[in-house]
A = this chain, B = another copy of it.
Amino acid sequence: MAKAVLGIDLGGSRIKAALVTPGKEVLGTASEQTPAAEGPSAVMDAMDRCARRLVKESGLTMDAIEAAGIGAPGPMNWQTGIVYSPPNLKGWKDVPLGAGIAERLKVPCFVDNDANAACYGEFWLGAGRGSSNLCLLTLGTGIGGGMVIEGELVRGPDGTAGEVGHMKVARGGRLCGCGARGCLEAYASAPATVRTAVEALEKGGESVLSKMCGGDREAITAEMIGTAAREGDPLALDVLGETGEWLGLGIASLVNLLNPEKVILAGGMAEAGDLLFETIRKSVLLNAFEVPAARAEIIPSALGPDSGAVGAAGCALLRLVR
């Protein structure tokens, strides 16, 4: 058995790596900037460098590494390891990421969707540990996520499963980045929450947000809304409440569909903490069936920004032995 497996999470702005043993011990993590402007080859070199640095810092040599798992942004093919044209990696087109990293690191390499890898990470070593059925929602610029059912990551025949942010919560509703209308992401992502705040201000609402953004509503961020809400600003509290209601609606659908033991919320928006979680929990109890609503714990991520790298390592370990 391998001494350790590498997990590498490729984000648009940062590369994160984790070194994990088959015994579920995280030996260390490392991170560096993604040289996204320099193209795929430079990015793969940076991933290679980051991974090798982590192995060295952990007191191991590459001989001890059995495989590497990569969490990469979609659209991509998890079976061939080819990344098609991710919106946050400009200029990438059909890049053989799995083969490129395998060649550099000289170990078998397995690629998975980044959100699915993060979901598996929380299941394997994070907030989902000990449960067999869970959903992850990553609340950021978009809403990504994934699902584990009876201990298995749900990928679907094309590997596109897990798009929790693109459940429809309104017919003919807000236009989403995906091109459709009424997706959960269009109401409850960070930019959607900002939009809700801007709309409230445009309707004449008063808030410390006007001061915080220096009069420039375009400069309002989800973090500002979180800060204002924690300070007790009524408009910011209403805005977070709105986002929580929409999330509650989407999560109620997941709870009715899948009867998960845990629904884990990750990403920047989840840091709004109890203000958001309490609204979501109330909404789920109101909107989902009693038994699955009572079952589903709605909790924050335990691995935070490392869930993708840790999960990619976990997925690789599993794919190695299958």
List B contacts of A252 (CB < 8 A).
Answer: 168, 180
Assuming the contacts A75-B291, A133-B157, asked whether A257 and B164 have C-beta atoms less than 8 A apart, the reply is yes
| Proximity bits, A278-295, B CB within 8 Å = 1, else 0 | 000000001111011001
B156 with A289: CB separation less than 8 A: no
Least Cβ distance of A35 to chain B in Å?
Answer: 29
Q: In the complex, which of the residues B154, B161, B258 contacts A161, with contact meaning CB atoms closer than 8 Å?
A: B258
Interface centre among A155, A250, A253 (most CB of B within 10 A): A253
Tell me whether B171 and A289 are in contact (CB under 8 A): no
Q: A31 on the interface (CB 8 Å rule)?
A: no
Query: How many Å lie between the Cα of A154 and that of B259 in the bound state?
Result: 9
List, in ascending order, chain B residues with CB within 8 A of A155's CB: 259
CB proximity to B under 8 Å, residues A143-198: 147, 149-150, 152, 154-164, 166-171, 178, 180-182
Contact A156 B292 (CB under 8 A): yes
In the complex with contacts A156-B260, A157-B261, A256-B166, A171-B246 CB distance below 8 A:
yes
B256 A163 Cβ-Cβ under 8 A = yes
CB contacts (< 8 Å) of A182 on chain B: these are: 249, 287
A304 to B152, CA, bound (A): 31
What's the nearest-Cβ distance from chain B to residue A86, in Å?
14
- Assess whether B167 is in contact with A253, with CB atoms less than 8 Å apart: yes
> Given contacts A161-B259, A259-B160, A295-B158, are A180 and B287 in contact (CB under 8 A)?
yes
Q: Is A227 an interface residue (CB 8 A)?
A: no
On chain B, the residues within 8 Å of A289 by CB distance are: 160, 163, 166, 178
Distance of A116 from chain B, by nearest CB (Å)? 11
Interface assignment of A245: CB less than 8 Å from any CB of chain B: yes
Contact indicator A150/B147 (Cβ below 8 Å):
no
Among A156, A170, A254, A258, the one with the most B-chain Cβ atoms within 10 Å of its Cβ is A156
Size of interface on A: residues with Cβ below 8 Å to B: 48
Contacts of A154 in B (CB 8 A): 149-150, 258
**Interface: A33 (CB within 8 A):** no
Q: Is the CB of B258 within 8 A of A168?
A: no
Q: Which residue of chain B is the closest to A260 with respect to CB atoms?
A: B156
Q: A169 contacts B166, CB within 8 Å?
A: no
Candidates B158, B163, B166, B169; contact of A171 at CB < 8 Å: B169
The smallest beta-carbon distance between A243 and chain B, in angstroms, is 12
**Docked pose: A145 CA to B246 CA in angstroms:** 24
Q: Quick one: closest B residue to A287, CB to CB?
A: B180
Write out the residue numbers on chain B whose beta carbons fall within 8 Å of the beta carbon of A157: 132-133, 259, 261, 295
The answer to whether A171 and B259 touch (CB under 8 A), given A132-B157, A149-B154, A180-B286, is no
Q: How far is the CA of A261 from the CA of B160 in the complex (A)?
A: 12
By a CB distance below 8 angstroms, the chain B residues around A161 are: 257-259, 292
**A interface residues with partner B (beta carbon < 8 Å):** 75, 132-133, 147, 149-150, 152, 154-164, 166-171, 178, 180-182, 245-246, 249-250, 252-254, 256-261, 286-289, 291-292, 295
